[in-house]
Amino acid sequence: EPHEVKDEHGTVVLAAIATYGKTRHTLVERSGYSGPYLPGYVAAEPIVAPPAKRTFQAIDHCVGNVELGKMNEWVAFYNKVMGFTNMKEFVGDDIATEYSALMSKVVADGTLKVKFPINEPAIAKKKSQIDEYLEFYGGAGVQHIALATNDIVQTVRTMRDAGVQFLDTPDSYYDTLGEWAGETRVPVETLRELKILVDRDEDGYLLQIFTKPVQDKPTVFFEMIER
């Protein structure tokens, strides 16, 4: 239910919707609040010097991993409870290998600015990354949060300097990149240096990179994405 939380900086109204696992979507109404974040929080100095310009502009999407056979159930939940529509789906051979596979559907709000891909494992010869996540996380939950950037090169350099660790990509990936990805805003040699990935479809291309898991388990991580 909506409820008020207060401190000396004012009042915030919070309400929450429960979804897969222990995940919650919290709605925040902060027009009557002037504090640093939410009541109970205090301002703190940055751990590292903030960059000259912002490293990302918004949350691009938030991905959830759910158990085998539960993806369509949660897609229907977002359709019914939050009025979301289905954007895209990846099933079967779209994102599968002989040994590991997953199925994914994307739900989004009417503006297409709020996007929630939902993954479930697919049957394969060994555990998929989704199975691994579910095992270590202890059930369904958020796999990663993607942050939209206008300049992925500057973002990655800044984050690396601050100590963020990204997944590696073999050099061989870049040897043939131009043959299928075509021309991109960032030269291939810069993509190779920073280990940035490219994906292209009928709508255009995107540049992306993934951090290593941010905890001591192979669970939650972040993605930087430039569309």
Full 3-state SS string of 177-220: HHHHHCCCCCCHHHHHHHCCEEEEECCEEEEEEEECCCCCCCCC
Q: Are 110 and 45 in contact (CB under 8 A)?
A: no
Asked whether residue 89 carries a pLDDT value surpassing 90, the answer given is no
Largest CA distance in the chain: 59
pLDDT tens, residue by residue, 127-142: 888 999 999 999 999 9
Question: What is the pTM (predicted TM-score) of this model?
Answer: 0.89
For residues 169-174, give the mean pLDDT.
Answer: 94
Residue 193's nearest CA partner among 168, 211, 210 is 168
Instruction: For residue 214, give both structure tokens.
Output: 């941010």
For residues 97-106, give the mean pLDDT.
Answer: 71
| Distances 186 to 15, 155, 183, 203 between C-alpha atoms, Å | 42, 13, 8, 18
* 10-18: strand order across its sheet: 3-7, 10-18, 24-29
* 3-state secondary structure at position 175: helix
Give the integer Cα–Cα distance in Å for 56 and 148.
Answer: 6
State the pLDDT confidence band at 97, using cuts at 50, 70 and 90.
very low
pLDDT at position 51 is 86
pLDDT at position 93 is 46
| Distances 143 to 72, 103, 123, 134, 149 between C-alpha atoms, Å | 17, 14, 19, 9, 20
pLDDT tens, residue by residue, 4-58: 999 999 999 999 999 999 999 999 999 999 999 999 999 999 888 888 889 999 9
Q: Are 48 and 15 in contact (CB under 8 A)?
A: no
The full length of the chain comes to: 227
For residues 180-190, give the mean pLDDT.
Answer: 91
